[in-house]
Structure 1
Amino acid sequence: MSYRRGNGSSTAARVIAVVADIMAFIIGLWILMYLLDANRGNDLVDFVQHSARWLAGWSYDLFTFDAAWARVVCGYGLAAVVYLFVGHAVAGRIRH
């Protein structure tokens, strides 16, 4: 049986990167649904909106642009970028 050193840390890094990707995907999906004016009465749209709002709670109302779409794109987009950057940076540090 061959034991490869770092296998556990590689798995942990992969899990962290995947979780960060999923979080960013949910936020990006909400941005897309908002821009395409998705039906807010739909259960899937409602779930994605509430999940994205929870994930981006610290940034969703950070900017005060006049246009609502710009606030959504910048506020939620910032959270998605931060999750991707931090998640993959942490995964990279764990991997090495």
Structure 2
Amino acid sequence: MPTHTRVHTRGSSSAGRAVALVADIAAFVIGLWILLFLLDANQGNTFVDLVHDAATWLAGWSYDLFTFDRAWVQVVVGYGIAAVVYLFIGHALASRLSRR
């Protein structure tokens, strides 16, 4: 087996792991914001504000996709969709990269 094939495979595997890690981190940040919101965390806290800002940036495309009367449902669904999409697409892409 030529060396370049082995290196290419290892590189693809590393790329796949990196994509999966980024997707996991994005979903974690969004999930953390959902949890902080549901637990009624102090929105004046710097950490809570940082997590909220990051989650809002990550889920900006999905937050107003559906509207609900209750704020907690809006947050869970609006942000939750983004978390699931990041996990699904990220891991699908990572799997595809790892097979190369």
After TM superposition, the score normalised by the length of structure 2 is 0.91
Secondary structure in 1 matching 2:60: coil
Q: Deviations over 1:30-52 (max 9, x none)?
A: 00000000000000000000000
Partner of 1:52: 55
Structure showing greater radius of gyration is 2
Aligned to 1:15: 18
Please tell me the residue identity of whatever aligns with 2:98.
R
Shift of 1:18: 0.3
How far apart are the structure 2 equivalents of 1:28 and 1:14? Answer: 21
* Corresponding pairs, count: 94
Partner of 1:31: 34
Partner of residue 86, structure 2: 83
Distance in 2 (CA, whole Å) between partners of 1:65 and 1:57 is 16
Instruction: Identify unmatched segments of 5+ residues in structure 2.
Output: none
Q: Which runs of 5+ in 1 are unaligned?
A: none
Percent of aligned pairs with the same residue? 66
Q: Which has the higher helix share?
A: 2
Quick one: distance in 1 between partners of 2:62 and 2:47? 22
RMSD value, Cα:
1.0
Quick one: which of 66, 84, 93 aligns to 2:96? 93
